[in-house]
A = this chain, B = another copy of it.
Amino acid sequence: MEVIPVRGLAEVKPGKDLGALIVAALRRGRLSLKRGDVVVVKQKAVSKAEGRLVRLADVVPGARAERLAKSQGKDPRLVELILRESVRVVRAGHGVIITETRHGFICANSGVDQSNVGRGVAALLPVDSDRSAREIRATLEKASGTRLAVVVTDTFGRPWRLGQTDVAIGCSGIDPLVRYAGKRDKFGYTLRVTQPAVVDEIAGAAELVLGKLGGTPVAIVRGASYSRGDTGVRPLVMPRARDLFR
């Protein structure tokens, strides 16, 4: 398996066709996409292209945001955005606000983030990051003439473990899980619950070559084993009834 950063992407601005920018960067870098390649795109680039940017100066925080901002030592305007993007606050403490987003993701700050977007600006998650992945994939498949998958990634923390890993918040053309349930190991033992979240592992693999300083938001993962699928990331969201940690 190879993981290849795609360098030289033009500055992503609201309204730009991100798929077309990636095609141009690939051409400039003399990279061609091959059948089955997974193109990984960081959320920040997607959010910028889709205009999901808000000037904090334009945000008027409500009473709830003011209270939560005070208790967690945060900018009330940022907390207002975090609350608007969430369906529920899961935990707040130590200056961290963990929410459930409208997509069903549980993450810090509803994914609202101020890095790599410019001073006084916050980026929100894409409204529908599976749709974002689908649109980018359509553009890339048309330009390359071959079947691909696209994964949109963001950086999430984890309970109990320090540090963050990149995970998938949208995907297209790939089954997010590999389903081993019912398969047998070489001793005849039947695997029951094993289903690797391959899109999350692909997201993390891409992060290893992209880093966090914003220069390169796109990578190609070539040679990963996955199944085709068109569910998006929905199957990764744990149903409330099965969740031991809500």
Contact = CB atoms under 8 A, between A and B. Distances in A.
A167 B159 CA distance: 14
A225 B209 contact: yes
Contacts of A223: 209
A15 interface: no
A212 B189 contact: no
Given A201-B208, A205-B1, A208-B201, A191 B160 contact: no
B98 A236 contact: no
Interface in A137-178: 155, 158-167, 176-178
Contacts of A204: 165, 200-201, 204-205
A195 interface: yes
A236 B162 contact: yes
A5 B130 CA distance: 31
Contacts of A176: 163
Given A1-B4, A162-B235, A165-B165, 16 more contacts: A1-B3, A91-B244, A106-B159, A114-B189, A115-B194, A159-B238, A160-B237, A160-B245, A162-B177, A162-B236, A163-B200, A163-B235, A180-B213, A201-B207, A208-B225, A211-B225
